[in-house]
Amino acid sequence: MTREQAIQQQVDEIMDEFDFHEVQRMFVQHGWTYGDQDEPSTAGELRRHARKLLLLAGEKPRDGCYTTGSGRFYVSLVENTQEKWVRLSLMFTPEEYGTDEGVQYE
């Protein structure tokens, strides 16, 4: 199996198993929207957004850990290019908090 096939296999599995209807329910419940939308996204729109993030993460080989996110979705890719092993994951985060700036330490 090629790297591209391994990525596609994982993207397909995630898209089949991830509960986009539950995510859409949360969007409706909380009145969340993307960009200039007036209404919460449909499950199909959320699926397309997540697929785009998954494919972006798997676009090129990356040794170690890589994370990207947008619209409350986070994609994580862990890869070992020497052993030719890769793992993708998708997470939806209803709430997140992070400080604006890092803190220097000794």
pTM to 2 decimal places: 0.87
Write a three-state SS string for the chain: CCHHHHHHHHHHHHHHHCCHHHHHHHHHHHCCCCCCCCCCCCHHHHHHHHHHHHHHHCCCCCCEEEEEEECCEEEEEEEECCCCEEEEEEEECCCCCCCCCCCCCC
Residue 75: pLDDT over 90: yes
Place 6 in a pLDDT band, splitting at 50, 70 and 90. very high
Q: For residue range 18-46, what is the model confidence (pLDDT) as tens digits?
A: 999 999 999 999 999 988 889 999 999 99
The pLDDT tens digits for 54-63 are 999 999 988 9
Q: What is the pLDDT of residue 102?
A: 81
